[in-house]
Amino acid sequence: MFRTFFFSTVLSLLLSTSWLAHADIISLPEQATLADLNPNIPQPYIVKKDDTLWDIANYFFKNPQKWLNIWEQNLYITNPDLIYPGNEIWFKPQNNTSNQAPLKANSHAAVFHPQPKIINKPVQRLTPASNNNVLLTALLHQDFISPRATKGVGYIVGAKDDRLHFGINDIVYLNITHPTHINDFFDVFRLGDPIQSLDHEKTVGLLVHHLGTIQIISEAQGVYRGIVTQAFREIIRGDILKPAQKTNAQISPITPKQKLSGHVLYIQNNGTAAGQNQIIGINMGLTHGLKKGMTLSVYRPGRRIKDQTKERTLTLPKENIAKIIILNAQRDASLAFVTYSTSAIHLGDIVGNSHP
């Protein structure tokens, strides 16, 4: 409503320029007085979202058409259509009740010294936070260990019947060599494929597939009895046990201080390409200074092209195609989670923390 009134007022002034050119006297709007003010209103008025000067005039005056009087006393508002939440609006009524004396056309306008108000607001996030549920799933389902840590502390012997596969709420029997108490929890895992170095001359780590969790409920003659409380995939006889660890998906990102450079060794499920929210293995680990939470980039090696002008071959700069965060660092290699990607990641792609 105020916007329509404001622009119609401006339009009427523009259409009446010929009248102003011949006029000797300009009549200014009648000044609001104490009698025009709504009683018992606190000041200043704090602008709220979607407020207009017309709305604010309705707060101050019995007749909101006197909104121009508010603008005259709050000239830090350069555009009445642009007022912002948090602005303070004041109005001091005139003492006299008579109309303001006519102003000669050639007289000088009054000088105002507006005091602008600076409003500090918190910065809004432009990008959403990382999906911790996806990260938690990645940590629960797959792990990475050194080649020397394969035995665990026990394994699944069987069950009350001759079944080969077990799921959630099934009762299983366990052989455990670790000090164990009733209600202790153990993670069930199965070794996956070894991760080889780029030259295939060295095993740098072993994949671990997390299958579920078992809670100990009894023990008799050295055989433990447990119940499957979590099952990510089918559990079978011979699957390995290790003391359960609480998985924390709240990984604090760390920016490496040293120069790091390596390559992609492994892609989840032995794939040939990886993208966002997938797991990859890289040939850098604890000996290189890596640790859980470090953030790195993945680069696509630059192509070699022929420069037709100078008849030579050029290698283009490598391109940043993905961001990763370290989930598990072992001695010579690490598992990482792809948090963002613009192109498919392939085996042999470069991993580092700076663009040369």
Region 219-237 average pLDDT: 92
- Asked if pLDDT for residue 324 goes beyond 80, the answer is yes
| Per-residue confidence (pLDDT) for residue 100, from 0 to 100 | 44
Q: Which residue has the higher pLDDT, 313 or 185?
A: 185
Q: Highest mean pLDDT range out of 235-239, 267-271, 351-355?
A: 235-239
Q: What is the CATH number of the domain that holds 332?
A: 2.40.10.410
Average pLDDT rounded to a whole number, residues 15-28: 42
pTM above 0.75, yes or no: no
CA-to-CA distance for 4 and 9, rounded, in angstroms?
A: 9
Burial class (CB in 10 A: 0-12, 13-18, 19+), 113: exposed
- The answer to whether residues 236 and 285 belong to one domain is no
Residue 113 lies in a domain: no
For residues 282 and 220, membership in a common domain is answered with no
Q: How far apart are CA 336 and CA 318, in angstroms?
A: 21
Per-residue pLDDT tens over the stretch 66-111: 777 777 777 777 676 667 787 888 777 765 444 444 444 444 444 5
Instruction: Specify whether 142 is located in the same domain as 236.
Output: yes
Backbone angles phi, psi at 20, to 5 degrees: -65, -30
Asked, for residue 256, whether it belongs to a domain, the answer is no
Last residue of a domain, one of 210, 243, 276: 243
**Model confidence at 204, in pLDDT bands (50, 70, 90)?**
confident
Is 224 inside a domain boundary? yes
226 is a domain residue: yes
Look at 301 and 95; give whichever has higher pLDDT: 301
Q: What three-state secondary structure class fits 139?
A: helix
Number of helices (H) and strands (E) in the chain: give both, helices first: 5, 23
Kindly state whether residue 318 falls inside one of the protein's structural domains.
Answer: yes
- Separation of alpha carbons 264 and 262, rounded Å: 7
- Mean local confidence (pLDDT), 323-331: 88
- 133-285-251 Cα angle (round to 5): 25
Report how far residue 163's alpha carbon sits from residue 172's, in angstroms, rounded to the nearest whole number: 10
Same domain assignment for residues 143 and 221: yes
Domains contained in the chain, number: 3
Domain that holds residue 176: 132-243
Alpha-carbon gap, residue 155 to 188, rounded angstroms: 8
Is the same domain home to 146 and 233?
yes
Specify whether 200 is located in the same domain as 300.
no
Of 183, 210, 243, the position where a domain reaches its end is 243
User: Is there a domain that residue 57 lies in?
Assistant: yes
Q: Are residues 227 and 272 in the same domain?
A: no
- DSSP H or E segment with residue 68: helix 67-73
